[in-house]
Protein backbone atom coordinates (compact mmCIF):
# COMPACT_ATOMS: atom_id res chain seq x y z
CA UNK A 1 0.00 0.00 0.00
CA UNK A 2 1.37 3.38 -1.06
CA UNK A 3 0.02 6.35 0.89
CA UNK A 4 0.67 9.94 -0.13
CA UNK A 5 0.05 12.69 2.40
CA UNK A 6 -0.65 15.91 0.54
CA UNK A 7 -2.27 19.33 0.82
CA UNK A 8 -4.03 21.63 -1.64
CA UNK A 9 -1.70 24.54 -0.76
CA UNK A 10 1.53 22.51 -1.23
CA UNK A 11 3.56 23.40 -4.42
CA UNK A 12 5.67 20.18 -4.42
CA UNK A 13 2.43 18.18 -4.10
CA UNK A 14 1.07 19.91 -7.20
CA UNK A 15 4.31 19.08 -8.99
CA UNK A 16 3.86 15.43 -8.01
CA UNK A 17 0.33 15.58 -9.46
CA UNK A 18 1.47 16.99 -12.80
CA UNK A 19 4.76 15.14 -13.30
CA UNK A 20 4.91 11.94 -11.23
CA UNK A 21 1.40 10.57 -10.83
CA UNK A 22 0.63 11.22 -14.51
CA UNK A 23 3.66 9.22 -15.67
CA UNK A 24 2.53 6.14 -17.63
CA UNK A 25 5.20 3.86 -16.15
CA UNK A 26 4.25 4.88 -12.61
CA UNK A 27 0.54 4.38 -13.31
CA UNK A 28 1.19 0.97 -14.84
CA UNK A 29 3.38 -0.13 -11.90
CA UNK A 30 0.76 0.89 -9.34
CA UNK A 31 -2.02 -0.74 -11.34
CA UNK A 32 -0.11 -4.03 -11.40
CA UNK A 33 1.44 -4.02 -7.92
CA UNK A 34 -0.13 -1.72 -5.37
CA UNK A 35 -3.04 0.05 -3.77
CA UNK A 36 -2.48 3.82 -3.80
CA UNK A 37 -4.18 6.11 -1.30
CA UNK A 38 -4.01 9.89 -1.13
CA UNK A 39 -4.70 11.66 2.17
CA UNK A 40 -5.23 15.40 2.57
CA UNK A 41 -3.57 16.33 5.87
CA UNK A 42 -6.10 19.10 6.48
CA UNK A 43 -9.03 16.74 6.07
CA UNK A 44 -7.61 13.76 8.00
CA UNK A 45 -5.59 15.18 10.86
CA UNK A 46 -5.98 12.00 12.92
CA UNK A 47 -4.19 9.73 10.43
CA UNK A 48 -1.59 12.39 9.69
CA UNK A 49 -0.85 12.80 13.38
CA UNK A 50 -0.71 9.04 14.01
CA UNK A 51 1.97 8.64 11.33
CA UNK A 52 3.80 11.80 12.45
CA UNK A 53 3.48 13.61 9.13
CA UNK A 54 5.04 17.06 9.31
CA UNK A 55 6.05 17.75 5.68
CA UNK A 56 4.25 17.41 2.39
CA UNK A 57 4.29 15.51 0.22
CA UNK A 58 5.22 12.43 2.25
CA UNK A 59 4.98 8.94 0.81
CA UNK A 60 4.59 6.05 3.23
CA UNK A 61 4.91 2.47 2.07
CA UNK A 62 3.43 -0.64 3.66
CA UNK A 63 4.05 -4.16 2.38
CA UNK A 64 2.74 -7.61 3.31
CA UNK A 65 6.11 -8.20 5.00
CA UNK A 66 5.95 -5.01 7.08
CA UNK A 67 2.34 -5.52 8.11
CA UNK A 68 0.94 -2.56 10.05
CA UNK A 69 4.43 -1.11 10.41
CA UNK A 70 5.58 1.13 7.60
CA UNK A 71 8.46 -0.19 5.52
CA UNK A 72 9.82 3.15 4.35
CA UNK A 73 8.92 6.73 3.59
CA UNK A 74 9.94 9.48 1.18
CA UNK A 75 9.60 13.16 2.02
CA UNK A 76 9.40 15.81 -0.67
CA UNK A 77 8.97 15.75 -4.44
CA UNK A 78 9.97 12.44 -6.09
CA UNK A 79 10.54 12.04 -9.83
CA UNK A 80 8.92 9.11 -11.68
CA UNK A 81 12.24 7.25 -12.00
CA UNK A 82 13.09 7.78 -8.32
CA UNK A 83 9.65 6.55 -7.28
CA UNK A 84 9.85 3.45 -9.47
CA UNK A 85 13.31 2.61 -8.15
CA UNK A 86 12.04 2.92 -4.57
CA UNK A 87 8.96 0.81 -5.25
CA UNK A 88 10.90 -1.90 -7.09
CA UNK A 89 13.30 -2.16 -4.17
CA UNK A 90 10.40 -2.69 -1.78
CA UNK A 91 8.78 -5.23 -4.11
CA UNK A 92 11.98 -7.28 -4.14
CA UNK A 93 11.72 -7.70 -0.36
CA UNK A 94 14.56 -5.36 0.59
CA UNK A 95 14.51 -3.58 3.92
CA UNK A 96 14.25 0.17 4.23
CA UNK A 97 17.96 0.30 5.02
CA UNK A 98 18.84 -1.75 1.94
CA UNK A 99 16.67 0.43 -0.28
CA UNK A 100 18.33 3.58 1.08
CA UNK A 101 21.80 2.08 0.64
CA UNK A 102 21.11 1.18 -2.98
CA UNK A 103 19.75 4.64 -3.71
CA UNK A 104 22.97 6.13 -2.33
CA UNK A 105 25.57 3.63 -3.53
CA UNK A 106 24.05 2.73 -6.90
CA UNK A 107 22.07 5.89 -7.61
CA UNK A 108 22.38 8.06 -10.68
CA UNK A 109 24.98 10.45 -9.24
CA UNK A 110 27.15 7.61 -7.93
CA UNK A 111 27.08 5.77 -11.26
CA UNK A 112 28.06 8.85 -13.26
CA UNK A 113 30.84 9.64 -10.78
CA UNK A 114 32.25 6.10 -11.15
CA UNK A 115 32.00 6.33 -14.93
CA UNK A 116 33.82 9.66 -14.94
CA UNK A 117 36.51 8.20 -12.69
CA UNK A 118 36.95 5.17 -14.97
CA UNK A 119 37.39 7.45 -17.99
CA UNK A 120 39.93 9.65 -16.22
CA UNK A 121 41.97 6.60 -15.20
CA UNK A 122 41.88 5.22 -18.74
CA UNK A 123 43.03 8.49 -20.32
CA UNK A 124 45.77 8.71 -17.69
CA UNK A 125 46.92 5.23 -18.83
CA UNK A 126 46.15 3.80 -15.40
CA UNK A 127 44.56 0.79 -17.06
CA UNK A 128 44.61 -1.60 -14.10
CA UNK A 129 42.70 0.89 -11.96
CA UNK A 130 40.33 1.75 -14.80
CA UNK A 131 39.62 -1.96 -15.26
CA UNK A 132 38.38 -2.32 -11.68
CA UNK A 133 36.05 0.66 -12.11
CA UNK A 134 34.58 -0.69 -15.35
CA UNK A 135 34.03 -4.13 -13.85
CA UNK A 136 32.25 -2.52 -10.90
CA UNK A 137 30.06 -0.54 -13.29
CA UNK A 138 29.32 -3.66 -15.35
CA UNK A 139 28.22 -5.48 -12.20
CA UNK A 140 26.23 -2.68 -10.61
CA UNK A 141 24.64 -0.41 -13.21
CA UNK A 142 20.88 -0.68 -12.90
CA UNK A 143 20.79 -1.81 -9.28
CA UNK A 144 19.81 1.56 -7.88
CA UNK A 145 18.49 3.45 -10.88
CA UNK A 146 16.77 1.32 -13.51
CA UNK A 147 16.76 4.15 -16.05
CA UNK A 148 20.55 3.82 -16.26
CA UNK A 149 20.40 0.15 -17.26
CA UNK A 150 20.62 1.13 -20.95
CA UNK A 151 24.18 2.31 -20.34
CA UNK A 152 25.13 -1.34 -19.95
CA UNK A 153 24.19 -2.13 -23.54
CA UNK A 154 25.26 1.14 -25.15
CA UNK A 155 27.92 3.45 -23.73
CA UNK A 156 29.66 1.10 -21.29
CA UNK A 157 30.57 -1.62 -23.84
CA UNK A 158 32.16 0.99 -26.13
CA UNK A 159 34.47 2.17 -23.37
CA UNK A 160 35.20 -1.36 -22.16
CA UNK A 161 36.18 -2.29 -25.72
CA UNK A 162 38.69 0.57 -25.81
CA UNK A 163 40.21 -0.65 -22.57
CA UNK A 164 40.27 -4.22 -23.85
CA UNK A 165 42.40 -3.17 -26.84
CA UNK A 166 44.84 -1.24 -24.65
CA UNK A 167 45.21 -3.64 -21.72
CA UNK A 168 45.79 -7.39 -22.02
CA UNK A 169 44.60 -8.03 -18.47
CA UNK A 170 41.26 -6.44 -19.37
CA UNK A 171 40.90 -8.91 -22.25
CA UNK A 172 41.58 -11.81 -19.87
CA UNK A 173 39.08 -10.56 -17.29
CA UNK A 174 36.39 -9.81 -19.87
CA UNK A 175 36.93 -13.24 -21.45
CA UNK A 176 36.37 -14.88 -18.07
CA UNK A 177 33.22 -12.79 -17.60
CA UNK A 178 32.03 -13.88 -21.05
CA UNK A 179 32.59 -17.55 -20.22
CA UNK A 180 30.76 -17.15 -16.91
CA UNK A 181 27.82 -15.53 -18.70
CA UNK A 182 27.65 -18.45 -21.13
CA UNK A 183 27.74 -20.96 -18.31
CA UNK A 184 24.94 -19.08 -16.55
CA UNK A 185 22.95 -18.99 -19.83
CA UNK A 186 22.99 -15.21 -19.66
CA UNK A 187 22.76 -14.69 -23.41
CA UNK A 188 22.51 -10.90 -23.26
CA UNK A 189 25.76 -10.44 -21.36
CA UNK A 190 27.44 -13.10 -23.51
CA UNK A 191 26.55 -11.28 -26.74
CA UNK A 192 27.66 -7.90 -25.41
CA UNK A 193 30.95 -9.29 -24.10
CA UNK A 194 31.61 -10.98 -27.44
CA UNK A 195 31.36 -7.54 -29.01
CA UNK A 196 33.68 -6.03 -26.41
CA UNK A 197 36.20 -8.78 -27.20
CA UNK A 198 35.85 -8.29 -30.98
CA UNK A 199 34.50 -11.81 -31.21
CA UNK A 200 31.13 -11.36 -32.90
CA UNK A 201 32.01 -14.42 -35.00
CA UNK A 202 31.19 -16.45 -31.91
CA UNK A 203 27.78 -14.81 -31.71
CA UNK A 204 27.12 -15.56 -35.39
CA UNK A 205 28.07 -19.21 -34.89
CA UNK A 206 25.52 -19.44 -32.08
CA UNK A 207 22.93 -17.58 -34.18
CA UNK A 208 23.30 -20.00 -37.08
CA UNK A 209 22.55 -22.91 -34.77
CA UNK A 210 19.74 -21.10 -32.94
CA UNK A 211 17.87 -20.08 -36.09
CA UNK A 212 17.28 -23.72 -37.06
CA UNK A 213 16.36 -24.78 -33.53
CA UNK A 214 12.74 -23.88 -32.64
CA UNK A 215 13.62 -24.07 -28.95
CA UNK A 216 16.17 -21.27 -29.32
CA UNK A 217 14.12 -18.95 -31.52
CA UNK A 218 12.85 -17.18 -28.42
CA UNK A 219 16.44 -16.19 -27.60
CA UNK A 220 16.80 -14.61 -31.02
CA UNK A 221 13.60 -12.62 -30.54
CA UNK A 222 14.57 -11.60 -27.02
CA UNK A 223 17.97 -10.29 -28.10
CA UNK A 224 17.04 -8.91 -31.51
CA UNK A 225 18.27 -5.40 -30.64
CA UNK A 226 21.76 -6.75 -29.88
CA UNK A 227 21.82 -9.01 -32.95
CA UNK A 228 20.59 -6.29 -35.30
CA UNK A 229 23.91 -4.39 -35.76
CA UNK A 230 25.93 -7.63 -35.82
CA UNK A 231 23.93 -9.16 -38.66
CA UNK A 232 23.86 -5.87 -40.53
CA UNK A 233 27.62 -5.27 -40.32
CA UNK A 234 28.21 -8.80 -41.61
CA UNK A 235 25.81 -8.34 -44.55
CA UNK A 236 23.47 -10.97 -43.15
CA UNK A 237 20.44 -9.09 -44.44
CA UNK A 238 18.31 -12.11 -45.30
CA UNK A 239 18.78 -13.51 -41.81
CA UNK A 240 17.91 -10.16 -40.25
CA UNK A 241 14.74 -9.81 -42.31
CA UNK A 242 13.61 -13.37 -41.67
CA UNK A 243 14.47 -13.84 -38.00
CA UNK A 244 14.59 -10.37 -36.44
CA UNK A 245 11.70 -8.72 -38.31
CA UNK A 246 9.27 -11.46 -39.37
CA UNK A 247 6.41 -8.94 -39.04
CA UNK A 248 8.06 -5.68 -40.16
CA UNK A 249 4.98 -3.46 -40.12
CA UNK A 250 4.18 -4.41 -36.53
CA UNK A 251 7.81 -3.73 -35.62
CA UNK A 252 7.69 -0.33 -37.30
CA UNK A 253 4.61 0.60 -35.27
CA UNK A 254 6.33 -0.60 -32.09
CA UNK A 255 9.31 1.63 -32.91
CA UNK A 256 6.94 4.54 -33.49
CA UNK A 257 5.28 4.12 -30.09
CA UNK A 258 8.66 3.95 -28.39
CA UNK A 259 9.84 7.04 -30.27
CA UNK A 260 6.75 8.99 -29.21
CA UNK A 261 7.36 8.01 -25.61
CA UNK A 262 11.02 9.08 -25.84
CA UNK A 263 9.91 12.51 -27.07
CA UNK A 264 7.80 13.18 -23.99
CA UNK A 265 9.53 15.54 -21.52
CA UNK A 266 10.07 14.01 -18.09
CA UNK A 267 11.00 15.43 -14.75
CA UNK A 268 14.53 14.00 -14.91
CA UNK A 269 15.34 14.50 -18.61
CA UNK A 270 15.52 17.24 -21.19
CA UNK A 271 14.32 16.74 -24.75
CA UNK A 272 15.25 19.07 -27.60
CA UNK A 273 12.32 20.58 -29.46
CA UNK A 274 13.33 18.92 -32.73
CA UNK A 275 14.25 15.56 -31.19
CA UNK A 276 12.80 12.69 -33.26
CA UNK A 277 14.40 9.25 -32.84
CA UNK A 278 11.94 7.47 -35.13
CA UNK A 279 13.81 7.81 -38.49
CA UNK A 280 17.02 6.33 -37.10
CA UNK A 281 15.13 3.50 -35.38
CA UNK A 282 13.67 2.07 -38.60
CA UNK A 283 16.69 2.18 -40.89
CA UNK A 284 18.31 -1.19 -40.17
CA UNK A 285 14.97 -2.93 -40.57
CA UNK A 286 14.26 -1.16 -43.85
CA UNK A 287 17.81 -1.76 -45.06
CA UNK A 288 17.65 -5.46 -44.22
CA UNK A 289 14.67 -5.99 -46.54
CA UNK A 290 16.37 -4.12 -49.37
CA UNK A 291 19.64 -5.95 -48.80
CA UNK A 292 17.76 -9.23 -48.84
CA UNK A 293 16.22 -8.31 -52.20
CA UNK A 294 12.71 -8.24 -50.77
CA UNK A 295 11.84 -5.02 -52.56
CA UNK A 296 8.06 -5.35 -52.53
CA UNK A 297 8.04 -5.70 -48.75
CA UNK A 298 10.58 -2.88 -48.45
CA UNK A 299 8.14 -0.65 -50.33
CA UNK A 300 5.39 -1.47 -47.82
CA UNK A 301 7.79 -0.68 -44.98
CA UNK A 302 8.65 2.66 -46.58
CA UNK A 303 4.97 3.49 -47.02
CA UNK A 304 4.23 2.67 -43.38
CA UNK A 305 7.15 4.80 -42.17
CA UNK A 306 5.89 7.75 -44.21
CA UNK A 307 2.32 7.21 -43.07
CA UNK A 308 3.51 7.57 -39.49
CA UNK A 309 6.12 10.26 -40.07
CA UNK A 310 5.98 11.98 -43.46
CA UNK A 311 8.85 14.41 -42.91
CA UNK A 312 11.84 15.45 -44.98
CA UNK A 313 14.10 13.82 -42.39
CA UNK A 314 12.36 10.47 -42.77
CA UNK A 315 12.28 10.66 -46.58
CA UNK A 316 15.96 11.54 -46.78
CA UNK A 317 16.95 8.80 -44.32
CA UNK A 318 14.99 6.13 -46.20
CA UNK A 319 16.33 7.30 -49.56
CA UNK A 320 19.95 7.23 -48.40
CA UNK A 321 19.53 3.81 -46.83
CA UNK A 322 17.90 2.40 -49.99
CA UNK A 323 20.70 3.70 -52.24
CA UNK A 324 23.42 2.44 -49.93
CA UNK A 325 21.90 -1.01 -49.49
CA UNK A 326 21.25 -1.53 -53.20
CA UNK A 327 24.86 -0.62 -53.92
CA UNK A 328 26.06 -3.00 -51.18
CA UNK A 329 23.83 -5.78 -52.51
CA UNK A 330 25.22 -5.33 -56.02
CA UNK A 331 28.80 -5.34 -54.74
CA UNK A 332 28.16 -8.48 -52.71
CA UNK A 333 26.65 -10.21 -55.75
CA UNK A 334 29.67 -9.35 -57.89
CA UNK A 335 32.15 -10.55 -55.27
CA UNK A 336 30.25 -13.84 -54.96
CA UNK A 337 30.85 -14.46 -58.67
Please tell me the predicted confidence (pLDDT) of residue 302.
97
Residues 214 and 150 both lie in one domain? no
Model confidence at 261, in pLDDT bands (50, 70, 90)? confident
Q: In this prediction, what percent of the chain has a pLDDT beyond 70?
A: 91
Please tell me the predicted confidence (pLDDT) of residue 268.
46
Q: Average pLDDT, stretch 110-127?
A: 93
Residues 204 and 336 both lie in one domain? yes
Residues 192 and 204 both lie in one domain? no
Residues 43 and 79 both lie in one domain? yes
Last residue of a domain, one of 94, 121, 137: 94
Q: Which domain holds residue 231?
A: 200-337
In a domain? residue 176: yes
Residues 176 and 305 both lie in one domain? no
From 2, 3, 19, select the one nearest 81 (Cα to Cα). 19
Residues 24 and 87 both lie in one domain? yes
In a domain? residue 186: yes
Residues 337 and 205 both lie in one domain? yes
Q: For residue range 135-184, list pLDDT tens digits in order.
A: 999 998 866 555 577 888 889 999 999 999 999 999 999 999 999 999 99
Residues 166 and 115 both lie in one domain? yes
Residues 51 and 168 both lie in one domain? no
Residues 144 and 227 both lie in one domain? no
> How many domains does the chain contain in total?
3
Please tell me the predicted confidence (pLDDT) of residue 265.
60
> Is the pLDDT confidence value at 3 over 70?
yes
Last residue of a domain, one of 50, 67, 94: 94
Burial (CB count <10 Å: 0-12, 13-18, 19+), residue 188: middle
Please tell me the predicted confidence (pLDDT) of residue 298.
97
Task: Tell me which of 8 and 104 has the higher pLDDT.
Answer: 8
Last residue of a domain, one of 94, 123, 147: 94
Residues 271 and 281 both lie in one domain? yes
Residues 53 and 79 both lie in one domain? yes
Burial (CB count <10 Å: 0-12, 13-18, 19+), residue 315: middle
Q: For residue range 292-323, list pLDDT tens digits in order.
A: 999 999 999 999 999 999 999 999 999 999 99
Which CATH number fits the domain that encloses residue 29? 3.40.30.10
> Is the pLDDT confidence value at 234 over 70?
yes
In a domain? residue 101: no
Question: What's phi and psi for 236, nearest 5 deg?
Answer: -95, 55
In a domain? residue 100: no
Please tell me the predicted confidence (pLDDT) of residue 88.
81
Model confidence at 74, in pLDDT bands (50, 70, 90)? confident
CB 143 within 8 A of CB 162: no
Q: Average pLDDT, stretch 49-54?
A: 90
Please tell me the predicted confidence (pLDDT) of residue 335.
79
In a domain? residue 48: yes
Quote the CA–CA distance of 4 and 53 in Å, as a whole number: 10
Amino acid sequence: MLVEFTATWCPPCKKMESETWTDEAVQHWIEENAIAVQIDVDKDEKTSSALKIDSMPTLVLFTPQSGTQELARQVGFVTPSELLRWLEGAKSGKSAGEIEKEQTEFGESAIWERLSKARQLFFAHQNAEALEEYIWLWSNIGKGHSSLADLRVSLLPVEMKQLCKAHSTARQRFSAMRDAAEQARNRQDWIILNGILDDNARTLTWFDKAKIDPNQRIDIERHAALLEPILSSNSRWSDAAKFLYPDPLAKINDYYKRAQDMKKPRADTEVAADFDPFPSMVLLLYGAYIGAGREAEAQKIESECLRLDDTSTMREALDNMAKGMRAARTAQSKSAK
